[in-house]
Structure 1
Amino acid sequence: MEIKTFSDLIGWTRQLHSYLAKYLADCSSKNEEERARLLLDYLAEHESKMEKMVAAFERQAEAEVMNTYIYDYLSHQPIQSNEIPYVQLGFDSICQEVFDYHQQVIELYRDLEEKAVIPEAKDLLGSLLAMEQHEAMLLVRQTGRMNDL
């Protein structure tokens, strides 16, 4: 997907969470390790919730901001979205891969927020960044609890 506007960026983020939710759910039934299956189910559900949160940003953001072009995105490294074989990974490896996806999205939003000139765009990016950071911390905490069991 080519990202030119804030609308494209938020749509791409929503699609990333949607893709991860479906892929993780699909891999869950195929992973041989029980803990990994439970983790994949949890992560799939969490990604699905994140997709809905991002969709809410799409609906609530001002049209003028959503149609604003993002020129600085072109200089940012694209998110690495390899087809990770979650079916073959264990608990810790799955966590690391999913955390990496989230960290890349956080870095993208952080970079764009720092470069934003329009106050409304800066606010939108700040809100998206805060949501992604909060949800990433929640994932780390919850998966840490799962690992303790």
Structure 2
Amino acid sequence: MQWTKNIHQQLHVFAAHCALENDSERSELLLEYISSHEKKMARVIRQFEDNGNSNALNTYCRHFYEKTAIPIHLTGEHPFEKMDTDEIAIATLEYHKNIVGLFEYLQNCSSAPSVTEFLSNILSLEEAEKRLLARNMKQIDDL
């Protein structure tokens, strides 16, 4: 949960920073939207994290992290600064694809009904938000 919250928080920071650095007005609008969306998602995931069910998932997460490495860049180094809107959208959706993949993996590993329900709720939220993000990014790109 902390990893997911951190991914959303870092995407928020990257997008906000890169919106100021990008020369394209459309890219700036897209990055501002992504920043706002990711900030909201970090808050939502923090609420799930506060429920306390996430501690049981740490062992499974370590196995997932060993198989899947998601590159995170430092503020000021993120390639969003030089990307066009299509590239920004693809990169952002790739992060979300990996987040959804984590929760699918955890759900498949879980045998406890309460943990499975917890993961199902998070997975549903992440998938719905990924679709919303994709739709809204497309609308911004169409401007």
Query: Normalising by the residue count of structure 2, what TM-score does the alignment of the two structures yield?
Result: 0.89
- Provide the secondary structure at the position in 2 that maps to 1:99: helix
User: For 1:15-62, what per-residue CA distance to the aligned partner results, in whole angstroms no more than 9, with x for missing partners?
Assistant: 111111011100100001110011000000000010111111122x2x
| Structure 1 CA distance for aligned equivalents of residues 24 and 34 of structure 2 | 15
Give, in whole Å, the separation in 2 of the partners of 1:72 and 1:105: 14
Matches within 5 A, 1:100-139: 100-139=94-133
- Pick from 73, 78, 81: which aligns with 2:68? 78
Unmatched runs of 5 consecutive residues or more in structure 2: none
| Alpha-carbon distance in 2 for matches of 1:34, 1:85 | 17
| Structure 1 length-normalised TM | 0.85
Tell me, what secondary structure is at the counterpart of 2:58?
coil
What is the match of residue 89 of structure 1? 83
Number of equivalenced pairs: 137
4+ aligned runs moved over 4 Å, structure 1: none
Aligned to 1:7: none
1:26 matched to 2:26? The reply is: no
Higher relative contact order (CA 8 A, sep 6+): 2
Report the RMSD for the aligned CA atoms in angstroms: 1.4
Provide the C-alpha distance between the structure 1 equivalents of 2:15 and 2:90, rounded to a whole number of angstroms. 14
In structure 2, what is the equivalent of residue 49 of structure 1? 40
Q: Distance between the aligned counterparts of 1:127 and 1:81, measured in 2?
A: 26
Mapped partners of 2:104, 2:43: distance in 1: 21
Q: Which amino acid aligns with 2:86?
A: D
Q: Is the 8 A contact 1:79 1:104 kept in 2?
A: no
CA distance in 2: counterparts of 1:45 and 1:15, whole angstroms: 15
Hey, what's the Cα distance between the residues in 2 that align with 1:69 and 1:48? 24
Looking at structure 1, the residues matched to 27 and 69 of structure 2 have their Cα atoms a distance apart, in angstroms, of: 24
